[in-house]
Structure 1
C-alpha cells in the first residue's frame, strides 16, 4: 500500500498526512492488514478479502459483527471496533473494502505464553458475552446441515486414484463422511439454544496490554450455541505449542465458566458440535485451492490449510474421550 491510497482510505477521519510508508502486518489467513502512522494518530487498516465481501450475506454479517462489538464495548468489554463511515464499518476505494481501527500497542500470546490467569480472564470474559443473550435479525438463526456432496466433487477434481493433497483418498472420504454425520446428529439438540457471540475467540484475536485483554476481529460474530463456543475456547486456549491439549487447562476454562454462567447443554454433544467450524474451514480451504481465479500463493495457502485442518480434525476426534471424563459430561 502506498501513501496516496492510505490517505484516500483515511480521509473520512480528516487525516491530512501519512507520516511513514504503510507497513503490512499479519492479517490472518484471509485479509491484508496495514499499520499506518498519520498526523491524527496510528491506525490499523484491514483490506477485506474480495471473495469474502462479495458474498450476498457478507455486508450484513460485517454490520452485525461491528454492532455486536460496539454493544460489547458499551458493556465493559474491551472490544476494538471499526471506525464507521456513513454508519457503515468500511470505506470503499476502487471497489475494495477497507476497515479502519485505532492501533493498539499490544500483542497476542503464543501458546507457550498462556498462563492460568489468562485462562481465567478469557473464560470469565466469554461468560459475560454469553450473558448478554444478544439477538439480531441481521443474520439467520437457523442451523444448516453440512453435506458430504459439497466435499466429494472437489476431492474428485483434485485427486488421482489414491491421494488428494497427499492424503489417502479413501481415508479422507471416510473420515469426512463420519465427521459430518456426527456433527449433524449433535446439532439436532444444540441448534435450539443459540445466541450471538464472537465465534473466533482464540489467542490470535486477543491482544494483551499490561495484563488487560483487547478483543479484535469480530467479523465471525453470529449465532452459535454457547456451549459449542465454550468448548472451542477451552480447546484452543489450552493447547501447547505442539498442538496438544492440556487437560488441566481445559478443565480450568470449563470450571471458571461454570462459576459465572450456567451450562445448559451436554458437553459431549458440544464437543461434536464444535466440528462445524473446522469442517467449514476445511471446505473453504479446498475451494480456495481449486479456484482458478486465485493466484498461486492463494492456492498454496489453501493446500496447506487443507492438510493442517484435516490433521487437526483427526487429532480433535481422538482427544474427545480423553477430555470428557466423569466431570465433563
Structure 2
C-alpha cells in the first residue's frame, strides 16, 4: 500500500487485511503491537472533484475533538488516510430505529455548529449531458446494462436539467455530506460516523434531505418510514439546528450525487480495464446498473417525498 509511513503505527502482527465492499476507495485493516487501524487507499484516478485531503483531515480532527462519534483520525497524505479501527455493527440498508435517526440528527447539528474555516470550491460546472453517447458506447461494448441505459437516456437528460435548475435556499454548512447506512456503524446501538472523504460545503436542505431519506428507507422506495425521516429532523432541532425552507432542494443533492456516481461507474466500466484503485470492475457494473434503474424511480417520486417535509 502506498502513502503514509505505516511503520510509525507499530510492528505489524500480520499482513494488512483487505476489507471488501467499498464503493469508491480500498480499505485495509492493519493490526500492530500498538493497536488496530483502518488504512484507506484513496481512488484519485477518476474522482468527480478534487480531493482536499489535508482540509478534510483537519475537519475530522476538529470533529473528533468536539466529541463527534467517529474513528480517531491518525495520519494523512495525498493518497492515504489512516484512522484508528472501530468495532461496531454495520447498519443495513433498511429503515433504522427512530431513536438512532434522532441521534444522527443531533450529531449533524453539532457538526454544523463547529467554527471551522473552509475555502469555498470554484463554481460547479454544468451537469454532464453525454448520456446518449454513453449509451451508444455501452451498447457497442456489450455492457450488461446497455439496454436499460439506452431506454432511459431522455430521463437522465431531464434529471440533469433538474439538478442544474433547482434553487438551493441555503444556508451552506461545512459537513460530512454522505451520512448514509454504508457510512455508519452501530456501537451499543448508537451511531458512529465513518468515511469523511466527501466533506465540504453543502446546502443544508440537501444534507438533511439526503440523510433523512437514506435512514428512512430500504434498498428501494416502497418502504419509506415517515417516523424515521422526521426523527432525523427532530434530532437536528433538538441539537440546536434550524430547519431550512421546505422544497425540492431537499432532494436535489441526493439526486445529483447518485447521478454523478452512476456516471463515474459507467465510465469505469466502458474502459473494460480493471483499475488499480477504487471498486473492482464487477462492482462498478453493479453500481452502474443500480443507478440506471434506481435513479429514475427516485426522480419520479420526488413530489411524494416532499410530503415528508415539515
Q: Answer yes or no: same fold by TM over 0.5.
A: yes
CA contact (8 A) 2:36 2:85 kept: yes
Aligned to 1:79: 70
Q: Residues of 1 paired with 2:299 and 2:274: CA distance? A: 32
* Structure 1, unpaired ranges of 5+: 92-96
User: Which residue of the other structure, out of 9, 23, 26, is the alignment partner of 2:20?
Assistant: 26
**Secondary structure of residue in 1 paired with 2:196:** coil
Aligned to 2:216: 238
In the TM superposition, what are the counterparts of 1:150-299 in structure 2 within 5 Å?
Answer: 151-159=131-139, 165-186=145-166, 189-190=167-168, 193-240=171-218, 244-259=223-238, 260-294=240-274, 298-299=280-281
More helix by share: 1
Bigger RCO of structures 1 and 2 (CA < 8 A, at least 6 apart):
2
TM-score, normalising length from structure 1?
Answer: 0.81
**118-127 or 17-26, larger mean C-alpha shift:** 17-26
Pick closer, same or farther for the CA change 1:120–1:227 going to 2, 3 Å: same
Aligned to 1:90: 77
Aligned to 1:94: none
In the TM superposition, what are the counterparts of 1:127-142 in structure 2 within 5 Å?
Answer: 127-132=109-114, 134-137=116-119, 139-140=120-121, 142=123
Q: Which has the larger radius of gyration?
A: 1
| Aligned alpha-carbon RMSD (Å) | 3.0
Offset at residue 219 of structure 1 (A): 0.6
Offset at residue 206 of structure 1 (A): 1.8
**Secondary structure of residue in 2 paired with 1:148:** coil
Residues 145-193 of structure 1: CA deviation (Å, up to 9, x unaligned): 31313x3332222225x9982434553211101111111111xx31764
TM-score, normalising length from structure 2?
Answer: 0.86
**Secondary structure of residue in 2 paired with 1:267:** coil
Q: Residues of 2 paired with 1:163 and 1:38: CA distance? A: 43
Aligned to 1:35: 29
CA contact (8 A) 1:69 1:80 kept: no
**2:4 matched to 1:11?**
no
